[in-house]
Amino acid sequence: MEPISTPQFLYKIMSLRYWHASQSRNNVTLSAEDDAFIHFSTEDQLEKTIAKFWSQIPQYVILKIETGKLAGKWAFETNPGGTTQYYHLYNGFIPMKSIAEAKIVYREPVDSCAALKLDIVQLGDPVLRQKARELTSEEILSPEIQTLIQDMVATMRAAPGVGLAAPQIGKPVQVVVIEDMDHSLLTAEQLIERDRQKISLHVIINPRMDIEETEAVEFFEGCLSVPQFTGLVPRAKSVRVECFNERAEPITIRAKGWYARILQHEIDHLNGILYIDRARLATLMTIENYVKLWKSKSRNEILASLALKKENPHSCHGE
């Protein structure tokens, strides 16, 4: 890829949800749309970009970025299937310090963004290493736990994340909320690779998990309680979970692929286990270095580059 010159400033449009998630971090939180490369617009392209991609979005943010503060490889090219050329940044990220201006646009009232959000407990807090206690049916139906569930949902969505366990907001009880619905920015190939389907919002309480298919599958994972790091984690392909829902009704969940991974990750939280305990330590890295050095490589290429053997297929166990 030949070096190219870029304007002093380019523009990045992102959702208000992801902008809020970026506030406590060193770099802008990007969506899966920017997995292969980060999309930018020139000032002249802003109006067209907004009309095409953001006209139906109630709230979004326009970032004015100082390009001299970005690392990575630039390309000026068309999007797949398009005719207009845009600036794309490969193997890079957007440091918060590169933002010259951030403008929040509200097309609709922001009431939906005003839900109560709780602070997420970070690595080092002892609550993350406790075994969370089970709840009685009476406790599940109590106003306190029902309110806790609603607050957890708001916190998960604002983070943003696809799952949140009660210990992550400082409550050592066996409650988890899960939602994985927004796949609009993932390619068909990414969905197939991850065996990922949409999972509507639901609550699991007092879960008991059994591993149904012990062969381990490795993918990079992160955690809202261990920000700015990622690593390869082996997880079982499929699991069976017996638990209660928010109405204190017993339910059974059979999950495979990415849903099984989410369940294993969140149930680990209830047992005082973090993903870094299960990660391949040789693959643990900052998200910045993952984007800069490894993002374009396949899982097998990463293992080969780091001289790692494939994980023992029987290394996954239920808790």
Instruction: Provide the annotated active-site residues.
Output: 266
- CA 103 to chain CA mean position, Å: 24
CB neighbours (10 Å) of residue 9? 17
Give the Cα separation of 92 and 251 in Å (integer). 44
Q: Which of 74, 112, 72 is nearest to 94 (CA)?
A: 72
DSSP codes of every residue in 132-167? PBP--HHHHTSHHHHHHHHHHHHHHHHTT-SEEEGG
Q: Which of 183, 310, 203, 197 is nearest to 247 (CA)?
A: 203
Q: Which of 311, 150, 115, 155 is nearest to 232 (CA)?
A: 311
Residue 258 is classified by DSSP as H
- CA 31 to chain CA mean position, Å: 8
Does residue 38 contact residue 70 with C-beta atoms inside 8 Å?
no
